[in-house]
Amino acid sequence: MIQFTIKTEPEDQTPEQAEKTLGFIEGFADSVHDNLSHSEKWGWCSVTVTAFDGDRVGKAHLGGCSYKSLEDFIQCGYFTDLCKDALRDMN
């Protein structure tokens, strides 16, 4: 049976740096700070999804994430994509 875990880590660059260097839309940093007011963990982070099946392990990573909660992240669609990527990595 395949199981998935989700791990968040603080993002290396500030939201302001990401807005300027990664081509995020103007006002992105402000929206990140709004999400940070809801959740320090999910407000500005990198996310790693790991798939486990016995001894087999696969991982997928996404940086520059800003959400209000775990539920918000799961509903956005990236979670499903990361699960698929982790399964591909595992296989």
**pLDDT tens per residue, range 32-61:** 999 999 899 999 999 999 999 999 999 999
For residue 60, the surrounding DSSP H or E stretch is strand 56-65
pTM of the model: 0.88
Element (H, E) at 28: helix 28-38
Does residue 19 register a pLDDT over 90? no
Domain ranges of the chain: 3-90
Distance CA 66, CA 34 (A): 9
